Structure 1
Amino acid sequence: MGYAFTSADVEFLRSAAGIAALAEVDALPFSAASHLQDVGVARKLLGESFAPVVETVLLRRRASSKLDSAASWLFTDDALQQATASAVARHRASRFADRVVHDVTCSIGADLFALSEVASVCVGSDLDPVRLAMARNNVPGRLVVRADALRPVSRAGAVTADPARRDSAGRRKWNPADFVPPLDELSAVYAGVDLAVKCAPGIDFAVAPWADEIEVVSLDGAVREACLWTRGLATAGVTRRASVLHGSESWTITDAEPDDCPVAAPGEWIIDPDGAVVRAGLVRHYAARHGLWQLDERIAYLSGSVPPPGIRAFRVLEHGHYTEKALKSLLRTRGIGRLEILVRGLDVDPNTLRKRLKLSGSAEASVVLTRVGAKPVMVLCRAERT
């Protein structure tokens, strides 16, 4: 759970003395070998103030791969875990360009910071006084006030929210009625304004029939969030969208595109669509865009003669009926000692299977285990970057 910051801690960390202490402690390595010794050094240097300083230094180092401005920010451990990665926050904020927007669950300000770069006016609010104090440090010059998200305190025409989805012990909540604030109450309170609600990508989208557009976002291959858009923030004619963020190669696909996609046997390549595409239910749309086909209409693996550019695809070496005995024989014949196992549609645990295969040899490959109808199929491949 991390150190429990107080408002006094935040006040100290923002002071000249706190800033100097942070710089002094940040010079310590805090490596696996030196961690205990470095904590002892910090304690001698700072006395009772050492704990929030050490925690902040360590949190800033963890945040550097997630947030653009981590070197000067203040966090709690929980808030950092829940904070939106900067690239995803910027992507979501782009729909609020030139709008008056209120982030009603601003926490430490990760989303508010992105909004402040594009919105004409933005306001942040939260109930946690410690996180609010941190947000004032992290997003200076913006109005940040203490308020309940379910009791509107602004007249902003656009509202964004990120309900808390963990309990006090850090366990994830899956029932939207248990979110803080609850999802349905949030949508009811802001039924008259343009609303965006960040959710976990695993949420059952059926629980939000009020959402006009559902967007699933991935970053560098990992699915990060779903966003529920309403009214003027939603895209006309679109109910599902997948946005794939990967540097300059970022792209998006929606259910407004064609989904004409045949079903056929494996071709020259196997393509495993980005998780955002799969989660958004847009596999067929993605296949139609790139001239691909499905192996089975209920399975997300695709095949084709030419893979989409800029992805990791799998060149087919051979394929056939899957049994563990047949796979073991094939791998032994080809001298494959390193094997990536991808599974959809079959009750196979890759780690357990790999142990039973008793791999030996110098070659490496990937195998796709899936089904076509009721038939289990294996496709031996070589992974390549297209």
Structure 2
Amino acid sequence: MPYAFSPDDVAFLVSAEGEKAIAACDGLTLTDASWLADVTAARRLVGDRYAAVLETVLLRRKATSKLDESDSWLMTSDALQQASASPVARSRAERLAGRDVHDVTCSIGADLAALARTAARCVGSDLDETRLAMARHNTAAAGVSPGLVRADALAPVTRDAVAVADPARRDSSGRRTWKPADFVPALDELATAYDGRDLVVKCAPGLDPSIVPWAREVEVVSLDGQVRESCLWSEGLATTRRRATVLRNGEAGSGGTQWTITDEEPDEAGVGEPGEWIVDPDGAVVRAGLVRHYGVRHGLWQLDERIAYLTGDAPPPGVRAFRVLEYGRYSEKELRSTLRRHDVGRVEILVRGLDVDPNTLRRRLKPSGSGEASVVLTRIGRRPTAFVCRAERVPA
């Protein structure tokens, strides 16, 4: 079970003594195999506060790929899981630059720190005293100083600021929940509490937009190829109905990249015969229902109007695409023969529109060659089709 931090724990951890205790335990291994030995060592090094210190060291390590300032932040396990990754938080904050903003569920401050850098004025609030204390420490570590107040998100303490909310998405048993009424606070209650005000709500990417009629824009956000969230924007903030935002951290020092596509762009991509390449659009594009729009932008067309794969003679820049080597009607026997002919021993399998489990199929194919390939399985009309391809990263 994750450690349950208290305000007293936070007070200790931010003190000079607490910083020394964290530093003393920072070199411990903290794996399942070493845990008992690590606990014994931590007890000897820092005494009764060992549990809070070990949890802090462990969570900072887990947060390295998610939060920019993870080596100095305080957090709980649940708060870290729900926190926005720093590039995602920055992207949202940029849309609210120059506005007065109130993060009404600020938790440990992941979004709040980004908002405070771009907002004219910024306030964060939360009911959890421990997380609020962590947010105070974390935003200071990030070099910003938003106002912080203990308050219920459903009882507004600001008047005209844009309200930003990130409702909890787990039920009392710890399972994820997708019913808006089960969010904490509930989505409908948030919309009522901030009726007439600009409202931004971070949600799970699988949320059905029809159950949040107040949201005029649904933005689906991905980071480094992984869909992270949907963001709901109220009427005063919306600029389109559907948007996909694709973020890339990039190589170290590159600053990363960002691009968006919306339903304002043309969508007459058409359906045609396979071209030289297969393109599997970013998950944000697929979840936002913008595959055809993406196809038009890049001169691609669909293999089948109901399938999200695109094809064409030149892939978009900066993507991983699949150069078609050979294709035909799919059967395991024919695919096995094709892989043998191309001397394939390592195979990646992508599937859309067919009831095929890639891992099970890979075991049955028993590829044994020296090369590698990507297999794209899909349906064109009623015809199951297999594409044997070479995956390539297209220069940006």
TM-score in terms of structure 2 length: 0.94
Report the equivalent of 2:41: 41
Deviation track 1:202-254 (CA, whole Å, cap 9, x = no partner) reads 1111111211111001000100010000123211xx10000100143321100
Distance 2:31 2:89 in 1: 30
Q: Check conservation: 1:193, 1:231, Cα contact below 8 A.
A: no
1:206 and 2:214 correspond: no
Q: Who is 1:185 aligned against?
A: 189
Structure 2: segments with no counterpart, 5+ residues:
250-255
CA contact (8 A) 1:268 1:304 kept: yes
Aligned runs of 1:126-275 on 2, under 5 Å? 126-140=126-140, 141-235=145-239, 238-247=240-249, 248-275=256-283
Matched, 1:10 2:18: no
Which of 296, 321, 333 is the matching residue for 2:341?
333
1:59 corresponding residue in structure 2: 59
Question: What does residue 386 of structure 2 align with?
Answer: 378
- Tell me how far apart the structure 1 counterparts of residues 93 and 378 of structure 2 sit (CA, whole Å): 39
Paired residue type of 2:296: A
Q: How does 1:257-296 map to 2 (within 5 A)?
A: 257-296=265-304
1:309 matches 2:338:
no
Q: Matched residues in 2 for 1:282 and 1:83: separation?
A: 27
After superposition, the C-alpha distances for 1:63-102 in whole angstroms (9 at most, x for unaligned) are 1111011111110011011110000000011111111111
Distance 1:27 1:260 in 2: 57
CA drift of 1:147 comes to 1.1
**Alpha-carbon displacement from aligned partner over 1:298-318 (angstroms, at most 9, x marks no partner):** 100000000001110000001
Letter in 1 for 2:26: D
Question: Secondary structure of 1:139's match?
Answer: helix
TM-score if structure 1 supplies the norm length?
0.97
Aligned mates of 1:111, 1:378 — CA distance in 2: 44
Identity of counterpart residues, as a percentage? 67
Distance in 2 separating the partners of 1:182 and 1:92: 21
RMSD: 1.2
Question: Which residue does 1:344 correspond to in 2?
Answer: 352
Residue identity in the other structure for 2:332: E
The offset of 1:329, in angstroms, is 1.7
User: Could you tell me how far 1:32 is from its partner in structure 2?
Assistant: 6.0
Deviation at 1:7, TM superposition (A): 1.3
Displacement of 1:14: 1.3
- The reply to whether residue 355 of structure 1 matches residue 363 of structure 2 is yes
Count of residues in correspondence between the two structures: 384
Look up the equivalent residue of 1:227 and give its one-letter code: C
Q: Which amino acid aligns with 1:284?
A: R
Report the Cα offset of residue 327 of structure 1. Answer: 1.1
Deviation, structure 1 residue 38: 2.6
Contact 2:100 2:121 in 1 (8 A): yes
- Whether the 8 Å contact between 2:376 and 2:386 is mirrored in structure 1 is yes
Q: Secondary structure at the match of 1:111?
A: helix
Q: Distance in 1 between matches of 2:336 and 2:209?
A: 40
**TM-superposed deviation, 1:29:** 3.9
Shift of 1:33: 5.5
Contact 1:125 1:145 in 2 (8 A): yes
Report what 2:115 is aligned to: 115
3-state DSSP of counterpart to 2:318 = coil
Distance 1:156 1:39, change over 3 A: farther
- Shift of residue 136, structure 1, vs aligned partner: 1.1
Q: Which runs of 5+ in 1 are unaligned?
A: none
Partner secondary structure for residue 22 of structure 1? helix
Q: Is the 8 Å Cα contact of residues 320 and 377 (structure 1) preserved in structure 2?
A: yes
Query: 2:25·2:53 contact (CA, 8 Å) conserved in 1?
Result: yes
Deviations 1:157-180 (A, max 9, x none): 311000100123321011111000
